[in-house]
Structure 1
Amino acid sequence: MHRYLFHFAQTHEEFRIPELESVASLYGFDLDFEGNMDFTRPFMIIRLTQEEHARLLARRCILIKSVHEFYAQGSTYEELHTQNRDARPLWEKYVPDTSFKFAISGFHHTIPKARQRDVVESFGYMDMLGKIDLKNPEITMTVYEEYKRRNDTPRDRLDGDGAFEQVYFGRLLEEGTARPLVQKFDVKKRAFFGNTSMESEVSLLMANQTMAAPGKLMYDPFMGTGSMAYPVAHFGAMVFGSDIDGRQMRGKGKTPGVFRAAEQYGVSQRMMGLCTFDMTWNPWRRGSLFDAIITDPPYGVRAGAKRLGRKKEMAEERKTLHLERQAALREAGDCPYIPPTKPYELSELARDLVLFARYMLKPGGRLVFFLPTVNEHYQEVDVQAMLCPGIELVANSLQDFGAWGRRLITVSKTMQEDCPPPDFLSKAPPSELGVPAHKDFREKYFEGFRKGDAAS
């Protein structure tokens, strides 16, 4: 396997490995991280069998800024040059007649021009005979100096110059061409969105977790304004969506808002349709339909989760009167029937969503969704408690907001045989693993996550 230097954007660091592994799985190749899994640093060396695999990752992964053929690294330039001389078989083919340039940059530091020249001259032993071309070279040799983050008072821009932690050297293979999609799908530029629309970078990361690709069928049972649908459709998948509240999908105007936004992104032909129904009272008459389910369930902070039913059952006499009034209004054409709903507690919703996914996913299909939780009280068993036989955890990554966070959960259907539809009416027995930290999350959020809440 060959070594490649990856330069990452320092955002959503915990999502980095799951995204890489999902995209590698999509294209059918393996990764070797060499034990280098420090998310606080922007550089990683990964072993791959083919250069094309590195290029595929750069074209698809949202968090990759650039990929390089790796030659050397060191805590000093002396160490780097020693390694680079040993790596001569990798770069000597470019010596005779390849046009080139050097690109020198620092992380958390700006390298002065004068020292950049000194760095370039220190590579004189490579004896590159090709033309120096700063505009359109055949190859670009890259040097990255990595410095510690400094959050102290303002300092002179040359202060600490040269005191880097590590310096890397390699040949640029490809810039991260997927990263500009973050701006393309920016919610602020969208034709239709609501106050619960998911930010573009996260929805793109979720789409990669589903391994969206042409020929695949994806489903969002909490469609809302469609934030999950547009990225998976951009990657070639067909999308179907539903929601208990059709107003979120429709918006204002004759054309549903989700379709208007899909038209904006050029993916309307991949939107199969929208329906209004409760996931627990769904119209599906067979399972194993979808390659992936991708969704952001409502958890009550901006929009409360609902399911069909009543908080309290009405007295029989009052229920009869209510139904008669509704029937009279429908006959008069004054009011469509709006079924009653009741709150849907988050831990119940998460458990039901996993059961629903086991029924609706094809073997090997994935469920990707966010699970909010109280950081102080979270334990790994909280996620394990909502899994069921035939479902396996693939990834669990935290987006930290301080007192609370939301976890991007990816699970896969491992069972090959069909299973019966889940019974959402039966109340599940208490888990032997205890009460999860995300139970009654809405109440804890508005109470300010007082200590002891998660234990009660």
Structure 2
Amino acid sequence: MEAQYLFIFAQAHEDFRIPELLSVAKIHGFSITLPDLLEDRDPKRPFMILGLKDEGHARLLARRCILIKSVYEFYARGSTYQELHAQNQARLQLWSRYAADTSFRFLVTAYNHTMSQSQQKEAMESFSYMNFMGKIELKNPEIILGCFEECRWSDTCPRQPGFGGHREEGKFIQVCFGRLIEDGSARSLVRKFDVKKRVYYGNTSMEAEISLLMANQTMAAPGKLMYDPFVGTGSMIYTAAHFGAQLWGSDIDGRQMRGKGTWPGIIRAAAQYGVASRVLDLCTFDVTHNPWRCGDLFDAIVTDPPYGVRAGAKRLGRKKERTPKPDAGAGTDRSTLSDDRPYIPPTKPYELADLASDLVLLARYLLKPSGRLVFFLPTVTDEYQEVDIDTIMCDGMELVANSLQDFGSWGRRLITIQKTTTIPVPPPSFDLLEELVDEEADAGHIPAHKEFRNKYFQGFKKDLSES
């Protein structure tokens, strides 16, 4: 039989909340019952009541989910204190076993308004009917009881005369009550992986909280093998490795991985976090000319592809075909040439729409069945449509989550795609696919992420000729 638990969330990256919960639950093999009403799932609100079969499941979520601040055994809630107390008294069996001799502490707090000490005391005293006879311990109590008021945002949310009355009309939403199960310990990882404290990072390094959320979306765990095809300075490697996964990374520019010094920068940073042994190897190659000769290798692919704002995406090839020199015929004696420098192959820009489509196809080839691809896709806010994601999908791959990090005129979407096919597929031929994608774009829908770099530097101004 399921029990209800009150989850208190950090008000950051709200759109990532439910996908993270479901991913972590899937790692540990249990299910979550979400609220039936959409308003109770509203990510703009800090509280959510979830159904779980075991208290241990609540503890697992609190220890792994980055966005959880704390989890409480749910006792009651109401749109007024009278309603709260009536529901709490009806659930006497949940809390009565603690009343006789359990030391306790009472916590009263509020969201979107401030409670004075006298108001907090008044709220605590309204629970006197519970007859808790144990000792009040502020430092190390056996249990902590929490009362949480929620108001809509306003400069003030004053009480009406008399305790338990309605707040300013239309401002008070609800009050919740429960017993603390566990504080969210995973949030401390945000400080641990802070980029500013890292021994090696670059201007494209992903911030710690986001890279941890990405690692949870991959369902990183011991025994899993993962791959970052645009590894850069390795931000996604460290967090996934922290959760026990083994990582392989590659990039077209080896300088990003190596940095300066005899010891590669990524390995130095991995050693800082104690996960250097989980970084299997780092290779320099273009993903469209990759060395992988068999598929179904990886449990997950996690990456933040370059999209041209701080660093542009590149692939092997020339922007323009080179005109052969007249004296460079077959009879040229290359032994007389003085240039003995190593050959550096030319590169050309990699359009984001092509990159995203290619990445999904590469993932279908490299992932094991049920493996996940997790990556960021930047989009223009005013132009984005749900069908944009369909333009990068292919048979055998299914969208799991699409979470927006909103920056105003643009945003980046954390896309989670799962491989559903169990039939082995051949490696994609990227040059042929590029031609097909260009033809389809000319004839059909143009997604909001196409030519994102140009739109970004133009300030997302619409082409007046189109209107």
TM-score of the superposed pair, with normalisation by structure 1: 0.94
1:324 Cα deviation from its structure 2 partner: 8.8
1:430 to 437, 440, 443: 440
Aligned: 1:53 with 2:53: no
Evaluate the alpha carbon distance shift between residue 137 and residue 330 of structure 1 in structure 2; reply closer, same or farther with a 3 A threshold. Answer: farther
1:97 Cα deviation from its structure 2 partner: 2.1
Classify the secondary structure of the residue corresponding to 1:377.
coil
State the distance in 2 between where 1:24 and 1:327 align.
66
Whether the 8 Å CA contact 1:148–1:165 is kept in 2: the answer is: yes
1:136 Cα deviation from its structure 2 partner: 0.8
1:317 Cα deviation from its structure 2 partner: 2.4
Q: Which moved more, 1:426-435 or 1:95-104?
A: 426-435
Aligned position for 1:441 = 452
2:150 to 121, 146, 152: 146
Per-residue CA deviation, residues 2-55 of structure 1 (Å, 9 max, x unaligned), is 110000011111000110111111111111112321111000001111111111
Structure 2 unaligned blocks of 5 or more:
161-165
Aligned: 1:354 with 2:360: yes
How many residues end up aligned between the 2 structures?
447
State the distance in 2 between where 1:424 and 1:165 align.
54
Aligned position for 2:72 = 68
Aligned position for 1:243 = 251
Classify the secondary structure of the residue corresponding to 2:83.
helix
Q: Which moved more, 1:27-36 or 1:253-262?
A: 27-36
Amino acid at match of 1:349: L
Aligned: 1:214 with 2:225: no
Amino acid at match of 1:9: A
Classify the secondary structure of the residue corresponding to 2:73.
strand
State the distance in 1 between where 2:336 and 2:225 align.
39
Q: Which moved more, 1:32-41 or 1:14-23?
A: 32-41
Aligned position for 2:375 = 369
Structure 1 unaligned blocks of 5 or more:
none
Amino acid at match of 2:277: Q
Whether the 8 Å CA contact 1:145–1:167 is kept in 2: the answer is: yes
1:147 Cα deviation from its structure 2 partner: 2.1
Evaluate the alpha carbon distance shift between residue 316 and residue 147 of structure 1 in structure 2; reply closer, same or farther with a 3 A threshold. Answer: same
Evaluate the alpha carbon distance shift between residue 262 and residue 328 of structure 1 in structure 2; reply closer, same or farther with a 3 A threshold. Answer: farther
1:148 Cα deviation from its structure 2 partner: 2.1
Whether the 8 Å CA contact 1:437–1:454 is kept in 2: the answer is: no
Evaluate the alpha carbon distance shift between residue 77 and residue 329 of structure 1 in structure 2; reply closer, same or farther with a 3 A threshold. Answer: farther
Correspondences of 1:262-341 after superposition (within 5 Å): 262-317=270-325, 320=328, 328=337, 331=340, 335-341=341-347
Whether the 8 Å CA contact 1:435–1:455 is kept in 2: the answer is: no
1:212 Cα deviation from its structure 2 partner: 0.1
1:320 Cα deviation from its structure 2 partner: 4.6
Aligned: 1:200 with 2:203: no
TM-score of the superposed pair, with normalisation by structure 2: 0.92
Per-residue CA deviation, residues 54-87 of structure 1 (Å, 9 max, x unaligned), is 1111000000000000001112111110010011
Aligned: 1:389 with 2:395: yes
State the distance in 2 between where 1:39 and 1:326 align.
68
Evaluate the alpha carbon distance shift between residue 267 and residue 133 of structure 1 in structure 2; reply closer, same or farther with a 3 A threshold. Answer: same
Whether the 8 Å CA contact 1:326–1:337 is kept in 2: the answer is: no
Query: Considering only aligned residues, what root-mean-square deviation do their CA atoms show, in Å?
Result: 2.1
Evaluate the alpha carbon distance shift between residue 330 and residue 292 of structure 1 in structure 2; reply closer, same or farther with a 3 A threshold. Answer: farther
1:115 Cα deviation from its structure 2 partner: 2.0
Percentage identity across aligned positions?
Answer: 62
Whether the 8 Å CA contact 1:287–1:360 is kept in 2: the answer is: yes
Amino acid at match of 2:440: P
Q: Which moved more, 1:71-80 or 1:288-297?
A: 71-80
**Deviating 4+ runs (over 3 angstroms):** 158-162, 318-321, 323-331, 452-456
State the distance in 1 between where 2:398 and 2:130 align.
50
